[in-house]
Amino acid sequence: MSAPPAPTFSRRVWLFWRKRIPVYAAIYVAVVAVFLWFELSLVFRPHTAAQSWRSPPDRRTQDVYFDSTDGTKLHAWWLPPTRPEAGAFLVSHGNGGNLSFRGELAAALNGASGAGVFLYDYPGYGHSESSPTEAGCYAAADAAYAWLTTAGKVPQARVVLFGESLGSGVAVELATRRPHRALVLVCPFTSLPAAAKSHYPFLPTHTVMRSRFDSLSKIGGCTRPLFIAHGTADSVVPFGQGEALFAAGNEPKEFLRVEGAKHSLPGNEFYPPLARFLDRHPAAD
């Protein structure tokens, strides 16, 4: 009796993968599940005031406590303007640390323009209560804007919305709903899933991430002057995402390409071009 014919090559390949595909699929699903479980801790990296806190570099800085639109107790620093006609920056900071890490930024913005600076913390950051979420960041921005334009006595048309990294998504969202003089974005992404995809290319971030911060879909609704700065060596948010967001924005707009700069707070090469841009686009009182 003759032996059965040996399996063909394609048959051997099929048998090999038939045993392994379910295992690999299970591993992949488990990896995605772990990513989802830790999503908020990957997106938000807050330092409470008890963990780390720095003194403001400008002694004129005032502590401000106010309530978010969802009732959360929030904290901010208010650096008054030296030129009231310059208005004020409303700063939405990045995902790490807390507002005290941005004291030099506030001092530099104030010094370069004479404008006031209102630098607030999201829930769970610094002295602010609760825990951070996308919705919580938007609610905090709304409340900060309300304080600045009422208790802070800054006219809405003189508010410059400033967003850094994660804060760019917060600032863009606020800009679609609140009057302002200009929108300034530093190291912005098109969306949070797009930024995450650059770090986790094997994960379906666009499908599964709950935190969206989808600036690309919203930037068309921002009709005031737009200024974007991005470093070409940014390894956190790819430089191309800043370019893509800028391309989708409305005129008037300006893009500051900072050669060799990484994902960091603005340096000396940032402030003079920003000041000139704002001078060209004064408040529309």
Q: Which long-range contacts (CB under 8 A, 24 or more apart) does 204-213 make?
A: 204/32, 208/32, 208/35, 208/36, 209/39, 210/36, 210/39, 210/134, 211/39, 211/40, 211/43, 211/133, 211/134, 212/134, 213/134, 213/166, 213/169, 213/170, 213/173, 213/189
Annotated catalytic residue 92: no
Q: Give the 3-state secondary structure of residue 144.
A: helix
Judge whether residue 32 has pLDDT over 80.
Answer: no
Catalytic site residue from 75, 93, 230, 263: 263
pLDDT, tens digit (0-9, with 9 covering 90-100), for 164-206: 999 999 999 999 999 999 999 999 999 999 999 998 898 888 8
CA separation for the pair 7, 13 (Å, rounded): 10
The domains located in the chain, with CATH, are 9-280 (3.40.50.1820)
DSSP state of 200: -
Annotated catalytic residue 263: yes
**Contact, 72 vs 128, CB < 8 A?**
yes
Catalytic site residue from 92, 191, 234, 281: 234
Annotated catalytic residue 230: no
CA separation for the pair 60, 70 (Å, rounded): 30
Percentage of the chain beyond pLDDT 70 is: 87
Q: What is the pLDDT of residue 45?
A: 96
Q: How many CB atoms lie within 10 A of CB 47?
A: 17
Q: What is the pLDDT of residue 191?
A: 97
Judge whether residue 50 has pLDDT over 80.
Answer: yes
Mean pLDDT of all residues in 141-152: 98
Judge whether residue 136 has pLDDT over 90.
Answer: yes
pLDDT, tens digit (0-9, with 9 covering 90-100), for 78-128: 999 999 999 999 999 999 999 999 999 999 999 999 999 999 999 999 999
DSSP state of 2: P
Mean pLDDT of all residues in 204-220: 92
Confidence of residue 284 (pLDDT cuts 50, 70, 90): confident
Tell me the average pLDDT of the chain: 91
Q: What is the pTM of this model?
A: 0.91
**Contact, 143 vs 66, CB < 8 A?**
yes
What letter represents residue 143's amino acid?
A: A
Q: What is the pLDDT of residue 267?
A: 85
Give kind and range of the element (H or E) at residue 73. strand 73-79
Catalytic site residue from 92, 113, 128, 165: 165
Nearest to 252 by CA among 230, 227, 270, 219: 227
Judge whether residue 62 has pLDDT over 70.
Answer: yes
The lowest-confidence range among 183-197, 221-235, 241-255, 260-274 is 260-274
Q: What is the pLDDT of residue 285?
A: 64
Give kind and range of the element (H or E) at residue 157. none
Better-scored residue on pLDDT, 36 or 68: 68
Judge whether residue 60 has pLDDT over 90.
Answer: yes
Percentage of the chain beyond pLDDT 90 is: 76
CA separation for the pair 173, 171 (Å, rounded): 5
Angle formed by the axes of helices 134-149 and 166-175, to 10°? 60
